[in-house]
């Protein structure tokens, strides 16, 4: 798929400004006291992550992870993009872990199970009133509680508009299989150990019908702390011998 940059898009500008940085590595830029300039924390072939400094929703940390391509909507994605979503989730945990205070970091095993971290998308037609970008796909990741939210802004982060990334991954997997992806495991679901689970589809006679995903490059996601997998997909069906 082709998603060229959109002139005037604030996120496209941030992605472009970070394009010269070393991929797959965190950044530690220096900012003047009181600066609200986006603080880019990470860039790779698929994502640019920056710390929201102008209008954060949590005093403990608020990160925006933008797709490098100008993907217009969450609904553009397909099951072929499951590894990409798993990579985004793991990257968010990694970056939030680096932001938390020493006292919170001491409880990191609890945090990474989702008790403190919130990672997800705001679904249309809702938007964050302070960050009103609706046509460039990006995820929000923050440390709970969201103690800087006003009542109106909080609507976008409530169950009315918020789409948790774990729920999104589970629902996509359910849509391409005959099995219900069970939830409620305190230590996580076994299927979550396979990032590409549900990403490939095919017919009973061995013909692969996997759609072309957003990711266009072969990329491993070991750096994000999960199993390595290839994100690229072939554009046509493939018949097994």
What is the CATH number for 77?
A: 3.30.428.10
pLDDT at residue 93 tops 80: yes
Residue 206 belongs to a domain: no
Mean pLDDT within 53-65:
92
Residue 65 belongs to a domain: yes
pLDDT at residue 91 tops 90: yes
pLDDT at residue 111 tops 50: no
Confidence band, pLDDT 50/70/90 cuts, at residue 236: very low
Helix, strand or coil, per DSSP, at residue 103? helix
Q: Given this model, what pLDDT does residue 65 score? A: 96
Q: 168 vs 19, 184, 208, CA distance in Å? A: 28, 15, 23
Residue 187 belongs to a domain: no
* CA 240/CA 210 separation, integer angstroms: 13
pTM of the predicted protein model: 0.76
Tally of domains in the chain: 1
Rounded to whole angstroms, the maximal C-alpha distance in the chain is 63
Residue 1 belongs to a domain: no
Q: 44 vs 22, 23, 57, 87, 187, CA distance in Å? A: 8, 5, 25, 11, 29
Residue 58 belongs to a domain: yes
* CA 178/CA 62 separation, integer angstroms: 37
Q: Which of 26-30, 42-46, 84-88 has the lowest mean pLDDT?
A: 26-30
Mean pLDDT within 21-47:
67
Q: Given this model, what pLDDT does residue 142 score? A: 95
Q: Given this model, what pLDDT does residue 179 score? A: 63
Who wins on pLDDT, 34 or 122? Answer: 122
pLDDT at residue 92 tops 80: yes
161's CB contacts (< 8 A; 6+ apart) are: 122, 123, 126, 155
Residue 157 belongs to what domain range? 10-19+41-104+115-126+135-178
Residue 185 belongs to a domain: no
* CA 151/CA 210 separation, integer angstroms: 42
Q: Given this model, what pLDDT does residue 101 score? A: 57
Residue 218 belongs to a domain: no
Who wins on pLDDT, 218 or 193? Answer: 193
Residue 26 belongs to a domain: no
Confidence band, pLDDT 50/70/90 cuts, at residue 78: confident
Give the percent of the chain with pLDDT over 90.
32
């Amino acid at each position: 798929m082709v998603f060229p940059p959109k002139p005037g898009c604030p996120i496209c500008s941030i992605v472009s400004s970070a394009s010269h940085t070393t991929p797959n590595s965190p950044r530690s830029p220096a900012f003047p006291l009181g600066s609200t300039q986006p603080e880019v924390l990470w860039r790779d072939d698929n994502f640019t992550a920056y710390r929201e400094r102008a209008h954060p929703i949590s005093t403990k940390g608020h990160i925006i992870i933008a797709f490098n391509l100008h993907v217009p909507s969450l609904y553009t994605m397909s099951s072929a993009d499951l590894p990409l979503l798993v990579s985004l989730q793991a990257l968010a945990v990694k970056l939030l872990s680096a932001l938390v205070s020493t006292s919170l970091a001491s409880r990191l095993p609890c945090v990474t199970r989702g008790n403190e971290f919130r990672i997800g998308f705001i679904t249309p037609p809702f938007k964050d009133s302070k960050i009103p970008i609706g046509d460039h796909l990006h995820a929000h990741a923050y440390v709970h509680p969201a103690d800087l939210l006003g009542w109106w802004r909080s609507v976008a982060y409530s169950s009315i508009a918020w789409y948790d990334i774990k729920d999104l991954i589970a629902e996509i997997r359910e849509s391409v299989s005959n099995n219900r992806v069970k939830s409620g495991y305190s230590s996580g679901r076994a299927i979550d150990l396979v990032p590409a689970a549900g990403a490939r589809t095919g017919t009973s006679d061995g013909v692969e019908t996997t759609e072309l995903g957003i990711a266009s490059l072969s990329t491993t996601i070991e750096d994000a702390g999960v199993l390595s997998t290839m994100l690229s997909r072939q554009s046509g069906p493939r018949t097994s011998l």
